[in-house]
């Protein structure tokens, strides 16, 4: 089955700096790559996603890039703010029933 690896496990940045989280996947058939943000004690929330027919997608300060050849995708957050502090999860999926998640990245934005 699909295996998703996520790096780094923790990331600390200064407010206003950019943050990049990277994920790799193993199954070349995966075609859907969502990112979730989970604040402490809360549920994971979908923040952005990308499909395999698109190389990049942007939504305000967040963007996701996908390299199908290398089987990796990344989350980019620009102009970070303290409220961006959370755990971020990447995931990869071929079908609705087969979403595999990375282990998560704890992002801390220092004011």
* Residue 94 sits in the site that holds another protein (CB under 8 A): yes
Q: Which of 31, 63, 71, 108 binds another protein (CB under 8 A)?
A: 31
Looking at 18-26, 57-65, 77-85, 92-100, which segment touches another protein (CB under 8 A)?
92-100
Task: Find, among 28, 10, 24, 31, the residue nearest to 99 by Cα.
Answer: 31
The distance of closest approach from Cβ of residue 91 to another protein in the complex, given in angstroms and rounded to an integer, is 8
Of 19 and 44, CB closest to another protein: 44
Q: Does 58 bind another protein (CB under 8 A)?
A: no
């Amino acid at each position: 089955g699909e295996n998703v690896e996520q790096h780094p496990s923790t990331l600390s940045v200064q407010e206003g700096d950019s943050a990049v989280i990277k994920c790799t996947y193993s199954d070349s058939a995966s075609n859907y790559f969502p990112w979730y943000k989970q604040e402490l004690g809360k549920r994971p929330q979908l923040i952005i996603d990308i499909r395999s027919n698109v190389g990049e997608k942007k939504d305000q300060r967040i963007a996701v890039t996908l390299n199908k050849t290398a089987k990796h995708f990344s989350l980019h957050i620009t102009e970070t703010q303290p409220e961006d502090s959370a755990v971020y999860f990447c995931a990869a999926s071929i079908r609705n029933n087969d979403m595999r998640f990375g282990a998560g990245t704890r992002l801390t934005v220092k004011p």
